Amino acid sequence: MNSKHSNSEQAMTEYLDALLLEDEVVEFDNEPVKKLLEQAAPKIQQVTQQESVALNRDEDLLPLVSVKADDTDTREALAETEAVVETDTQVEPEEEPQPDAMSEYMEDDFQALFFKVAGLTLAVPLKSLGGIHQVGKISPLMGKPKWFKGIMTEREDKLQVVDTARWVMPEKYTEELEESLDYQYLITLNDSPWGLLCEELVTSEPLQPEAIQWRKEGSNKRPWLAGVVRDRMCALLDVNALITLLDNGLGHIQQD
C-alpha cells in the first residue's frame, strides 16, 4: 500500500516538474500519471462516511471566499473624482500598469485555497478568488473550445464554466477520465465571469514564498502556472494570466 502511495506521489511530482519546463517535455513518461488518473476514478465514485465529513469541511470553506467585496468605497471614490473642479484643459491621467499580484506573493505569506481535479491538487490565492458556487445547470454553447462547458447562471451572473481537467491536462484527458469526473463546485476567478470546475475543496491555509518552486523568469510556455508547492505536490495558479488566456480562448500552453 505504501509502495502504491509512493509511486503515485512520484508520478504526480514528475508531472508537475514537467509543467514547469518551458519547452515541450520529451523524456517525460506518461504511463505512471495515466495509471494514477485511472486509479482516481473509483475513489471519486465511492460513497462513504468520509465523503460526508469532507462535505462538512467544504461547507466550512465556503464563507471564506463566497462573500463579495463591498463596492461602497469604490462608489465614494468615483463621486470624489467627479467632484474635482474642471479646468480649461482637461488632462486625462496616464493609466498606471496593473500590479503584478504574483510578485506580491513572492515576498510575503498569503492564504490559498487548495482543491482537487482528477487527482491533481491545485491552489489559488484567496485574494484572487471571486467566490465558490455549487455546480448547477450548465447550458452549453456552440462554437466554443472543448474545455468550455457552457454558461451557469448564479443569481443574476452568467458564469463561464471551464472543464478544469480538460484545460489543465488535455493530453491526459480520456473518455475514462471524463466519465469518472464528479464536479461539485465552481471556483470563480477575481471579478471575471470565468469559473473553474473542481471535484473537492481540500483546505485553506497560508503559504510561504520559500515553500514554492516559482516559474522561471521569462518563461511564457505556461503563464497560468505560477509555481509548484513542493510539500503538497500542488500547482499554484497565476489567476491574472489564466484569465487572460481564457479571455483569448487559449488552452493551457501558450503557443509561440
Residue 137 belongs to some domain of the structure? yes
In a domain, 76, yes or no: no
Using pLDDT thresholds of 50, 70 and 90, give the confidence band for residue 252: low
Say if 90 falls within a structural domain.
no
Tell me if 109 sits within 8 A of 207, measured CB to CB: yes
Does any domain span residue 252? no
Mean pLDDT across the stretch 116-122?
95
* Grid cell in block for residue 101: 499580484
Using alpha carbons, list the distances in angstroms from residue 138 to 160, 164, 182.
9, 14, 14
Q: In terms of DSSP H, where are the helices of 46-146?
A: 49-65, 72-82, 101-107
pLDDT on residue 100: 62
Number of alpha helices (DSSP H) and beta strands (DSSP E) in the chain: 8, 12
Is 132 within a domain? yes
Query: In the chain, how many domains are there?
Result: 1
Percent above pLDDT 90 for the chain: 49
pLDDT for position 222: 87
162: closest CA among 117, 125, 203? 117
pLDDT of amino acid 47: 40
138-139 β-sheet, strand order:
129-134, 185-189, 194-198, 157-162, 148-154, 138-139
Tens-digit pLDDT profile for residues 120-134 = 999 999 999 999 999
Average pLDDT in the chain: 75
Q: Above 90 in pLDDT, residue 199?
A: yes
**Segments forming the whole domain that contains residue 14:** 2-63+102-247
3-55 pLDDT tens trace? 444 444 555 555 666 665 544 433 444 454 455 445 544 544 444 344 444 44
Whether 74 is in a domain gets the answer no
How far is Cα of residue 153 from the mean position of the Cα atoms in its chain? 20
The answer to the question of residue 93 being in a domain is no
Q: Residue 168's domain is classified under what CATH number?
A: 2.40.50.180
- Does residue 172 belong to any structural domain of this protein? yes
Q: Which residue has the cell 463579495?
A: 68
